Structure 1
Amino acid sequence: MSDTPASPNNAAGPAGANPQNPPSLTVLAQYVKDLSFENPRAPEVYQANEAPKIDVNVDVQGRQLHTDQYEIELSVAARANQGDSAEVMFVTEATYAGIFEIKNVPKEQLEMLMLVECPRLLFPFMRQIVADATRNGNFPPLMLEPIDFMGIYIANAQRKAAAAANPQTEPAS
């Protein structure tokens, strides 16, 4: 830590932030909110010789609990089918959540922080939960690939902007 006084050129710090109240993100709690593993065709499913086709869907939701406190939910649903058939090998669904205290962040940056940085902190735990659930179902652990939450956030923002710029008119009845 430095005791050097701030120069006049950077007295306010980055982007005019108040050095007395710097932005902060604190994890107050983390927990499994929902966990389900289904193995509907056991034990016959273990006779399959072909690799499963696995579809994974990820969702992030956030809501304010109290002043400066937010619950962020990271949900994953994975479904494995036998090859190209519709026969389900396993289905797992999990929601891992955290309560975050977010202080001194401009409102225009709050959504990005909630939908990018918070799930990035939760993801390694969710990855382990999904891997353990599939391994405990006697399948190889499903190791989720890293997720680019910022890329998803930007793509969603661009879709919203495009939709706002080109509103579809409803047909006359």
Structure 2
Amino acid sequence: MSDQPTDTGAPQGNGDGTAQQPQSPSMRILGQFIRDLSFENIVVQKGASGEMQPDVQVQVNLDAKKRSTENQYEVVTTFKIESKSKGSEAPLFLLELEYGGIFQVENVPDNQLHPFLLIECPRMLFPFVRRIVSDVTRDGGFPPLNLDNVDFVALYRQELIRRAQEEQAAKAQADA
């Protein structure tokens, strides 16, 4: 037998007889709110009638910012939903919703915080957004609109690509 210590891969003690475990990331929703909501029933305003087949376009924007309290962040999802009649392109309704949440986020490494805030937090808010959109469209005189799931990972990647392209264009313009 050797008197050499062996590394078993187990967590080492911190001197008081307890093992030191790495802290796992945690997130709590402290509050949710509607910052802005607008619904325009254009069909009723213009007095249009007849059979209409809607074509729905959904745009999603995300924003996150640190709050003054430690480990608290405000994340806002903005949805712009336009419905037009197929064929005639006549507008049917316009719904704009800014829905936010206040999150307590702990033990997330700094290099992973940005994607965490813009992917995981909106994912937690989305079921509430879906319900609001469904209720508002139904109460506005249309069949309830049940939004498809949003791929927040793809949305985040698209935003990174867009920002990189803007930076390249700005750099190219500065060099010219």
Scaled by the length of structure 2, the TM-score of the pair is 0.79
Question: For each residue in 1:2-36, what CA deviation from the matched residue of structure 2 results, as whole angstroms up to 9, or x when unmatched?
Answer: xxxxx941428xxxxx7364321111011222111
Matched residue, 1:26? 28
Going from structure 1 to structure 2, the CA distance change for 1:159 and 1:91 (only over 3 Å counts) comes to: closer
Residue 67 of structure 2 aligns to a residue in which SS? strand
Residue pairs, 1:39-54, within 5 angstroms: 39-42=41-44, 44-45=47-48, 47-54=49-56
Matched residue, 2:3? none
Residue pairs, 1:47-62, within 5 angstroms: 47-62=49-64
Amino acid at match of 2:53: A
Question: For each residue in 1:76-114, what CA deviation from the matched residue of structure 2 results, as whole angstroms up to 9, or x when unmatched?
Answer: 111112224343211111111100011121110000110
Kindly tell me the number of residue pairs found equivalent between the two proteins: 160
Partner Cα distance (1:84, 1:146) in 2? 26
Which 10-residue stretch deviates more, 31-40 or 98-107?
31-40
Answer yes or no: is 1:98 the counterpart of 2:101.
yes
Q: Which runs of 5+ in 2 are unaligned?
A: 1-6, 13-19
Matched residue, 2:173? 169
Residue pairs, 1:1-173, within 5 angstroms: 8-11=8-11, 19=21, 21-42=23-44, 44-45=47-48, 47-66=49-68, 67-161=70-164, 167-170=171-174
Partner Cα distance (1:97, 1:34) in 2? 10
CA contact (8 A) 1:56 1:79 kept: yes
Query: Post-superposition, which runs of at least 4 consecutive aligned residues in structure 1 deviate over 6 A?
Result: none
Amino acid at match of 1:133: V
Residue 42 of structure 1 aligns to a residue in which SS? helix
Scaled by the length of structure 1, the TM-score of the pair is 0.81
Q: Which runs of 5+ in 1 are unaligned?
A: 1-6, 13-17
Larger radius of gyration: 2
Residue 139 of structure 1 aligns to a residue in which SS? coil
Amino acid at match of 2:33: Y
Query: Sequence identity, in percent?
Result: 34
